[in-house]
Amino acid sequence: MAMIKCNECGRAISDNADKCPYCGNPIRKGMGCVSKFFVTIFVIIVALYILGSILPKDWTNDNTDYRYGQEMLAYNYAEDFVKQGLKAPSTAKFPSLTEKSQSVKNNYDGSYKIDSWVDSQNAFGVMIRKNFSCTVVFENGKVKCKNLVFE
């Protein structure tokens, strides 16, 4: 049994007492149900906010995310087509994700124009940079590369 102070008169009383034996003031024991309810709601809101900020944007149904995903898909297909035209495709190095996203133009007809570069070894084993341009077309469930040009 511990001793606590009465909030009203300040005298020492038992922590098991429901009210102060000296002044009759009721003794609070922990949080009430209403306080617990609001604390629980606050914790849930904070948890949802944190969870929402760490989830990847791909989990949303926003149209801009879909278009961005399609543009990156087109770029990835372009990489595959470009590698087919290289002497040493295993050495191919393409730009960073940020630069890739700036290299793709949506033609809004199911095709994407890509103007970018690749570093790879030539026939002599020397790393060189080649600029390339192509149009990746999505139609009838197939992917085609048109006008692939190395500069």
pLDDT digits (tens, 9 = 90+) for 34-62: 778 889 999 999 988 887 776 655 544 44
Architecture per CATH, 62-150 = Roll (3.10)
pLDDT above 90 as % of the chain: 51
pLDDT number for residue 117: 96
pLDDT above 70 as % of the chain: 86
Could you give the CA distance from residue 94 to residue 20 in angstroms, rounded to a whole number?
Answer: 77
- The more confident residue out of 119 and 14 is 119
Could you give the CA distance from residue 31 to residue 39 in angstroms, rounded to a whole number?
Answer: 10
Whether residue 68 has pLDDT greater than 90: no
pLDDT number for residue 87: 92
DSSP state of 112: E
Which residues, listed in sequence order, are joined to residue 3 by a DSSP beta bridge? 14
The token pair that represents 61 in the structure block:
């149904």
Cβ–Cβ under 8 Å, residues 142 and 115: no
Average pLDDT score, the chain: 86
Whether residue 1 has pLDDT greater than 70: no
pLDDT number for residue 49: 83
Residue range 116-144, pLDDT digits in tens: 999 999 989 999 999 999 999 998 889 99
Domain spans of the chain? 62-150
Cβ–Cβ under 8 Å, residues 88 and 121: yes
Q: Which of 116, 90, 122, 117 is nearest to 104 (CA)?
A: 116
Instruction: Report the pLDDT averaged over residues 6-15.
Output: 86
pTM of the predicted model, to two decimals? 0.56
